[in-house]
């Protein structure tokens, strides 16, 4: 059963809580027919409905994301529990974290990962356009779907 959330509505608080409680996303990119996946530590910005991560500009997922900004990915729980399936599948646009959003995105990311200030790389974001949240603790096969206008 899929519960579709109105695009005019904010992202469901259950989705927000899940995204804020997890740490790793899988990001899928593709250019010239060559797909690639990367795993990254992320932080979720509720204000910008974006997943923020830090990576070097030379990495394949950043190079591909800059060439083709249409990306997808997933977030699974940091600890999997059999029978309590939860997870996010997402689509969005790959963007470089720049002004005027950069200070807000830095605050969110470095609050969650203060050690990352000492690590090289730049902040990037996926501005979410579609989120499908599966949460079997809400009932078997329960899915919440949010899409941007």
Report domain extents, the chain. 12-132
pLDDT value, residue 135: 86
**Residue 145: is its pLDDT beyond 60?**
yes
Spell out a b/e string for 107-146, using b for 16 or more CB atoms within 10 Å of the CB, else e. ebbbeebeebeeeeeebbbbbbbebbbebeeeeeebbbeb
Asked if residue 112 has pLDDT above 70, the reply is: yes
pLDDT in tens, 32-56: 999 999 999 999 999 999 999 999 9
Q: How confident is the model at residue 9 (pLDDT cuts 50, 70, 90)?
A: low
> How many other C-beta atoms can be found within 10 angstroms of the C-beta atom of residue 85?
16
Say if residues 87 and 132 touch (Cβ distance below 8 Å): no
Q: Which residue has the tokens 């995204």?
A: 19
Residue 29 contacts residue 54 (beta carbons within 8 Å): no
**Please, what is the end-to-end C-alpha distance for the chain in angstroms?**
22
Rounded to the nearest integer, the mean pLDDT of the chain is 90
Q: Which residues pair with 130 in a beta bridge?
A: 91, 147
Topology given in CATH for the domain delimited by 12-132: Pnp Oxidase; Chain A (2.30.110)
pTM for this entry? 0.90
């Amino acid at each position: 059963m899929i519960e579709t959330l109105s695009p005019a509505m904010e992202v469901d608080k259950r989705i927000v809580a899940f995204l804020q409680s997890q740490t790793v996303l899988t990001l899928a990119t593709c250019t010239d027919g060559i797909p690639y996946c990367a795993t990254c530590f992320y932080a979720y910005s509720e204000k910008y409905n974006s997943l923020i991560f830090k990576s070097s500009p030379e990495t394949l997922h950043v190079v591909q994301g800059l060439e083709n900004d249409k990306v997808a990915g997933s977030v699974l729980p940091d600890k999997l529990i059999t029978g309590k399936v939860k997870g996010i599948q997402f689509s969005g646009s790959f963007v470089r974290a720049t002004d005027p959003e950069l200070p807000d995105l830095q605050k969110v990311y470095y609050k969650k990962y203060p050690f990352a200030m000492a690590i090289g790389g730049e902040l990037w974001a996926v501005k979410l356009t579609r989120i499908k949240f599966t949460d079997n603790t809400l009932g078997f096969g329960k899915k919440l779907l949010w899409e941007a206008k």
